[in-house]
Amino acid sequence: MPRNLVLFDLEWNIGYQPFIFNYHGVQQTLRGEIIEIGAVKIDEDANVLDTFSIHLRPRIFRCLQHHIAKVTGLTQEDLDKGEPIIQGLRRFMKWCGPDAEFAEWGMDDVPVLKQNLFLCNLDESRPTVWYDLQQLFLREYPRKEGEGMKLENVVTRMGIPLERPFHDALSDTLYTADLCRLLDLRAGLAAYPSEEDTLRQSLCPTPGDYRDFRVFQGYLDQSMWKLDPVIGTMACPVCGTALQPDDVWLKKGSSGWYTLSQCPVCKGRGGEAGRGVFQKYRMSRRDGLHWAFARCVQMPDDASLVRWKKQKAQYLERQRLKAERQAAFAEAARNPAPAEAGLYRLLGVLTVVVGFALCFLFAPLGLVILACGVYVTVKARHIADKENRKLREAPPPVAPEPERGEPSPGPGFSDSVSAQRFQITRTDEQVEMLRAGYKENSAHEIFPPDTVWASPRSEVYHFGDSCGSVILPDVVPIGEGEALRRGLRRCKKCDWHGAPVPAPGSSPEPVRTPVSKATVEPVDSW
């Protein structure tokens, strides 16, 4: 039976305000509302068998965002004339068929499609199989330095005639089909790795003695690898006793963690696990919505143990220096030096005024005094800038997490976990701190009540480390008084009213960010 391969491309609209919705008990931000679908059915030789194209009328982001209009060339009139989004998505999924295998250029469209199907109360279980055609292309045409991987860049580089406009859903899909005809598509699809294979290759590179490799899929919370005891508890590969992880967890790459765990039975007996074993984790988010976690045990050798001791010592030294900087920051906040800058500034202003007045009576003396005033004013500015730079470089103190003694953000399996909702459970002490006015960031760290977040390059400060549901990349927490002293303004987009404080020992709702004011009609009326 021939494969039902569907190449597809989506164009979607975004709002001027984020839209937050409940996705199976987890708050998610809508990545975009689909306004155009283009798709083609191909065989394994990339011959086009059928095409599909449709414009959709959105119900959440009804106003066409100006950037989307500029890129796609669509107008507000095009959106208003589109087919209702539920009917259009239902038509598209029916055209694809239940056995369709989806393929796209990149991996951006699948999570958008699934989110839109969910919001339209349609079956989001499909697609179950999809391929990133960029990986197939790079397998045969390795990327050179400086080469972009955008569709238009690759089409131009491969010499394909530019007969259609880009950023049109159907046109982009046809260009993708043209690229597929340059590939050995049949062999590429056959060798395409599964998510489990990808995790195994990254977690267990050769050489090495790896054991007890397992993959856990379908999680919506990224932190479940360190909170769920089913994932976090591992057995000794020799005797089967539960391993005891080290307090320090080191990061491996951008999505991996590892530590040296000890078996209480085998420790010190000189066997395979007598010196400990490495407990390793790797995470992946292939569909953009659900997390998969891979874990394994690696038997150590002499070189890996030496490397572990060295990296652990370096990590602990960094933590010690960080604590010293935090203490220095706290001391600077209690004894602000810019009072000196304020005195200089006042003296400089008075001297400038006096010098300017004397210029009318005795010009030489007035000019000298005026120059002195300017110098003192510049000196005041220099002192203030130096102090602000010192404060920016020193991170602020963070209130410790009551139950965790680990020096790293690694797994804390002592935390209780809701088996039904997989939400973090706060301790009684944390709850009381929040009720007393303390603040909590997106990483569930507790900060003093007067804490705000600011970037060294920004002119405004925020009441949290996110603004408009977007996690701010380089902000650091500082006191609000310090922010005002630096001349920072309050962000007008922040709508912070404090985190909801649950009852002690309960599983709270996640911290909600401001949501869009868009009105969403009931599904039945769409």
Q: Which residues pair with 27 in a beta bridge?
A: 22
pLDDT band of 34, cuts 50, 70, 90: very high
Write the DSSP symbol of residue 504. Answer: T
How far is it, in rounded angstroms, from Cα 273 to Cα 266? 6
- Three-class SS state of 338: helix
- pLDDT(273) > 60: yes
Among all chains, which residue has been given the structure tokens 């972009």?
A: 148
**Between 155 and 397, the higher pLDDT residue:** 155
How far is it, in rounded angstroms, from Cα 213 to Cα 297? 7
Q: What pLDDT is recorded for position 514?
A: 34
The contacts of residue 168 (CB under 8 Å, 6+ apart) are: 11, 36, 38, 72, 73
Phi, psi of 217 (to 5 degrees): -120, 165
- Which amino acid would we find at residue 108? D
**DSSP count for the chain of H helices, then E strands:** 16, 21
> What is the token pair recorded at 413?
């399996």
pLDDT band of 469, cuts 50, 70, 90: low
pLDDT band of 438, cuts 50, 70, 90: confident
* pLDDT single digits (tens) 299-344: 999 999 999 999 999 999 999 998 888 887 776 655 555 555 666 6
pTM recorded for the entire structure:
0.64
**Polymer length of the chain:** 526
Per-residue burial over 234-269, b = 16 or more CB atoms within 10 Å of its CB, e = otherwise:
bebbbeeeebebbebbbeeeebbbbbbbbbeebeee
Beta carbons of 464 and 435 less than 8 angstroms apart: no
Phi, psi of 51 (to 5 degrees): -130, 160
Across the chain, mean pLDDT equals 80
Q: What is the SS3 string spanning 461-491? A: EECCCEECCEECCCCEEEEHHHHHHCCCEEC
- Which amino acid would we find at residue 74? L
Helices (H), 245-362: 302-334, 338-358
Find the farthest-apart pair of alpha carbons in the chain and give their distance in angstroms, rounded. Answer: 102
Pairing of strands 451-454, 446-447: unpaired
* pLDDT single digits (tens) 211-270: 999 999 989 888 888 888 999 999 999 999 999 999 999 998 888 999 999 999 998 887
How far is it, in rounded angstroms, from Cα 71 to Cα 89? 23
Among 276-280, 390-394, 504-508, the range with the most confident prediction by mean pLDDT is 276-280
Beta carbons of 460 and 454 less than 8 angstroms apart: yes
**Between 507 and 120, the higher pLDDT residue:** 120
Nearest to 211 by CA among 304, 296, 301: 296
Beta carbons of 133 and 154 less than 8 angstroms apart: no
How far is it, in rounded angstroms, from Cα 438 to Cα 436? 6
How far is it, in rounded angstroms, from Cα 88 to Cα 155? 29
**Between 369 and 49, the higher pLDDT residue:** 49
Stretch 60-73: mean pLDDT? 92
- Which amino acid would we find at residue 151? L
- Domain boundary assignment for the chain: 5-190, 195-300, 423-526
How far is it, in rounded angstroms, from Cα 86 to Cα 313? 57
Distances (CA, A) of 17 to 63, 384, 466: 11, 37, 14
CATH superfamily of 5-190: Ribonuclease H-like superfamily/Ribonuclease H (3.30.420.10)
How far is it, in rounded angstroms, from Cα 81 to Cα 75? 10
The contacts of residue 459 (CB under 8 Å, 6+ apart) are: 487, 488, 489
Q: What pLDDT is recorded for position 408?
A: 37
- Which amino acid would we find at residue 299? M
* pLDDT single digits (tens) 387-417: 666 555 555 444 444 333 333 334 333 333 3
Q: What pLDDT is recorded for position 6?
A: 96
Q: Which residues pair with 55 in a beta bridge?
A: 36
How far is it, in rounded angstroms, from Cα 258 to Cα 297? 10
The 10 Å Cβ neighbour count of residue 409 is 16
Residues of the chain with pLDDT > 70: what percent? 78
DSSP symbols for 406-430: -SSSS--TTS-B-TTT--BPPPHHH
Beta carbons of 11 and 73 less than 8 angstroms apart: no
Alpha-carbon 495 to chain mean position: 21
Helices (H), 394-421: none
Beta carbons of 519 and 474 less than 8 angstroms apart: no
